[in-house]
Amino acid sequence: MIVLITGASSGFGEEMARRFVRQGHKVIATARRAERLAELQRELGDALLPVAIDVTDAASIDRGLAQLTDTWKPIDVLINNAGLALGTEPAYQCSLDEWTTMIDTNVKGLVTITHKLLPAMIERNTGLIINIGSIAGNTAYPGGNVYGSTKAFVEQFTRNLRADLAGTGVRATNIAPGLCGGTEFSNVRYRGNDAAAAKVYEGTMPLTASDIADAAYWIATLPAHVNITHIEMMPTCQGYGGFTIKRS
């Protein structure tokens, strides 16, 4: 298989790249940070092709895809992993710039690269798009505001892809993880406040990037007639809360 992964310079993306390469597949690892991708290639060898792409910039996606030689062009799996959360403040205290950054990456970036790769999958009548969503796309929580909404988009976009793709050989999946540690996710969300980020995982055994890679690899290696549409993953220490009622 040839697998293109966005946001492959760290976290889930990096771990998924390792998983697919170690299982004998080829990975096009994309991210903005070219030096991190080069490091990953030194670790994994020539089965990993580093391509610097900023998914928020359509021209950058075009430039990256134009670098692919014929042997790398028939992409079997697109993993839309690039994404981020910024902040946990209530909506009325948030920065519009941060909201826009999340929408640009989690929504616009994801649909742009999908739009560019989907026609070739349809033409070959085979392909799989794995979108990385979040439990925040299905469950509202204080401070989730735009982050959760972008992930709700990912959920519904995946379902709507299924609606259009039924009867073609192309599959689509949303993996929606809950609390997941060992990545930069919370450090980014808390804007570099590593102590606040670490607190998120205190006293828990969260999911790890390896757990997400397990799910992605399982989904990608199922028989061609099986489509996992949505998979929600939580660590066993996590569950659902109730509704909030503020009483005066």
Query: How many CA atoms are closer than 13 Å to the CA of 94, on its beta-carbon side?
Result: 23
Q: How far is the CB of 88 from ligand 8X3 (least distance, A)?
A: 9
Q: How far is the CB of 49 from ligand 8X3 (least distance, A)?
A: 28
Backbone angles phi, psi at 94, to 5 degrees: -85, 160
Give the nearest residue (CB) to ligand 8X3: 134
Length of the chain: 248
**Which residue lies nearer to ligand 8X3 by CB, 30 or 134?**
134
> Per the structure block, which two tokens stand in for 106?
């989690």
Q: How far is the CB of 190 from ligand 8X3 (least distance, A)?
A: 11
Active site residue 147: yes
Q: How far is the CB of 68 from ligand 8X3 (least distance, A)?
A: 30
Q: How far is the CB of 135 from ligand 8X3 (least distance, A)?
A: 5
**Which residue lies nearer to ligand 8X3 by CB, 105 or 134?**
134
Annotated catalytic residue, options 92, 141, 147, 240: 147
- Using alpha carbons, list the distances in angstroms from residue 101 to 16, 40, 133, 154, 193: 24, 26, 16, 16, 19
Backbone angles phi, psi at 26, to 5 degrees: -105, 140
| CA nearest neighbour of 109 among 65, 56, 69 | 56
**Which residue lies nearer to ligand 8X3 by CB, 126 or 187?**
187
For residue 146, give the amino acid letter: V
Question: Binding residues for ligand 8X3, per CB under 6 A?
Answer: 134-136, 178-179
**Which residue lies nearer to ligand 8X3 by CB, 61 or 135?**
135
**Which residue lies nearer to ligand 8X3 by CB, 201 or 217?**
201
Catalytic residues: 147
